Structure 1
Amino acid sequence: MTSSPKAKSHFRKAVCSLAQKFHTHEHPGEKVVEWKFDAAGPLPTSIDSTSLRNKVALITGSSKSIGASIAKTLAAQGAFVVINYAKDSKSAEEVAQQINYAAITSTSDLASASLPSDHRENGENGQVEHPQSQPQHQAIVIKADSSTISGGQHLLQETLRIFGRLDILILSAGLMGSKSLSEIDEAFFDAHFDFNVKAPLFLVKAAAEVMARPGGRIIFLSTSLTAASTLLPNALCYVASKGAIEQITRVLAKDLGTRGFTVNTIAPGPVNTALFRAGTPQHVIDNIAAQIPTHRIAEPEDIAPIVAFLASPAAQWINGQILGVNGGYVV
């Protein structure tokens, strides 16, 4: 039984359509479809992957505590990381040295990943830029006061100068003061909203124009106190500023989501950091720990893996969410 000319034509077109995925194939009267593969570009990443290989991550306030743990965790997943500090250069350098030493001594593909040589798209104009210098390490240190708009701009510009791209922005730096209403003055209020709200928002605004798209990840840090039923009266400015960040997250998810970005917030509970312990009596810490099912407060290493997951391709469908990471302290 012979096939009709029409059936042969349909079969031929189907075969050619499949073949065009692998090589340029042309037939008279048909549009040429050219498939290109840039061998120098980054390795393709499955959308269900938690690997951060070849990603560039900028973490504000990452010289110690939660920020430092986030930087180390992202680096362990293959990301190039920017360690940011304002005053403590020694701590920042130590974090970078630990990451770079681990990358040198590790035999895993993640630790030995090379910086992608693909271009980044500069905003809406589509200009192509390449890094002015190739970084020699997986982690670099940049001094910048991320509590100010100008400091954030410097941090972003240096990241782009060195790495030539930005995939992940994590706003870890923040201010947590303790004053009740009768003690609050204008300077105290402004310091919290400048540091915790204004500076991060304008850094996100600038970064959104140059971040790799789609797939860019923006992650804020808040606190579980915004959802807690028991609060101390001296947490007013801190909690109010973090509440603002959570609402900003919801709105930006709708706005920047149109560009293929996700915007989420991690809201940790009590974490064993110098900032948390400062001025807090041990009996108060013990009382807080007793309210957590595991009877302990978190370590920074309990928070970082959740941030790393949100930064990964696997988290593409999590957007505009406030994730409480508190071990059941607030439910």
Structure 2
Amino acid sequence: MTTNHQARTHEPPVARVAVVTGGSRGIGRAVARKLAQDGLAVVVNYAHDAAAAEETAAAITASGGRAIRVQADVADESAVAAAFDRAEQEFGGVDVVVNCAGRLALSPIADLDLAVLDAVHRTNIRGAFVVAQQAARRLRVGGSFVGFSTSVVGTQFPGYGAYAASKGAVESITLILARELRGRNITVNTIAPGPTATDMFLDGKTPDQIDQLAKTPPLERLGTPEDIANVVAFLTGPEGHWVNGQILRANGGMV
């Protein structure tokens, strides 16, 4: 990974550039690696875990790709703007933005600590809006923005009230943003995964709960981060560019 500006000036130009928030682990890491495999230079955003973000970026560069890691709390508009500045400085622009950063809290609505509600909504609503705002300002013509929701918005499992409410907000701005970007050939879509085997999903669940959720889709398994990364690659690639303003429930057939 190059950090010297003089060295960067001798590198070949990059055709396409992606900013992936929450790119240090889970779905975000899989997305960053998949987009790099498809030839994009990747800015791996992270909030706290610099070591994990470095692992993601190092894996990409070890495979012949180009990646840098950039710290930013997605709810901090100044930090996010600086991350996009870094993408433009390092690689010349931004063509794909994927907002994988998110926060999950499980609790019955009656018992939920409102401080937890505020934290969830700060990341999942304010953060999603901040990243979408920068994407709208920075994406080059022909680019793509992908947000993340959850299939729980549709399944409405008990205990997911705060999380589903925050992701419903993400879904509600998807078509609005797509329409606001008319004339720039930019697509805006949101992916709503079902149960996916990430640390965030598995944390706090018993083996029986995980097994039950795995059996819920007709395909009778949990999704993998790679399953979701493949959907992102489709939506941000030329084959998926006619898909716009949509919520795609990538969940193995859950209602």
Q: Same fold (TM over 0.5)?
A: yes
Q: Which of 92, 99, 102 is the aligned partner of 1:174?
A: 102
- Structure 2 contact 99–131 (Cα < 8 Å) conserved: no
Q: Match of 1:227, SS?
A: helix
| Residue pairs, 1:244-263, within 5 angstroms | 244-263=169-188
Cα distance in 1 for partners of 2:111, 2:84 equals: 36
Cα distance in 2 for partners of 1:182, 1:224 equals: 22
Structure 1: segments with no counterpart, 5+ residues: 1-40, 43-52, 104-110, 112-137
Cα distance in 1 for partners of 2:186, 2:67 equals: 24
- What is the aligned partner in structure 2 of residue 224 from structure 1? 151
More helix by share: 2
Q: Match of 1:99, SS?
A: helix
- What is the aligned partner in structure 2 of residue 71 from structure 1? 32
Runs of 4+ in 1 over 3 A off after TM superposition: none
In the superposition, the TM-score normalised over structure 2's length comes to 0.90
Cα distance in 1 for partners of 2:246, 2:174 equals: 7
| Residue pairs, 1:79-228, within 5 angstroms | 79-103=40-64, 138-213=66-141, 215-228=142-155
- What is the aligned partner in structure 1 of residue 5 from structure 2? none
Cα distance in 2 for partners of 1:223, 1:206 equals: 22
Structure 2: segments with no counterpart, 5+ residues: 1-11
Aligned pair count reads 244
Cα distance in 1 for partners of 2:111, 2:33 equals: 38
Cα distance in 1 for partners of 2:252, 2:107 equals: 27
Cα deviation, residue 252, structure 1: 0.9
In the superposition, the TM-score normalised over structure 1's length comes to 0.70
1:57 has 2:36 as partner = no
Cα distance in 1 for partners of 2:78, 2:176 equals: 24
1:94-127 Cα deviation digits (max 9, x unpaired): 1111111111xxxxxxx6xxxxxxxxxxxxxxxx
Cα deviation, residue 311, structure 1: 0.6
Cα distance in 2 for partners of 1:258, 1:175 equals: 33
User: Which is higher, the Rg of structure 1 or of structure 2?
Assistant: 1
Cα deviation, residue 326, structure 1: 0.7
Cα deviation, residue 150, structure 1: 2.6
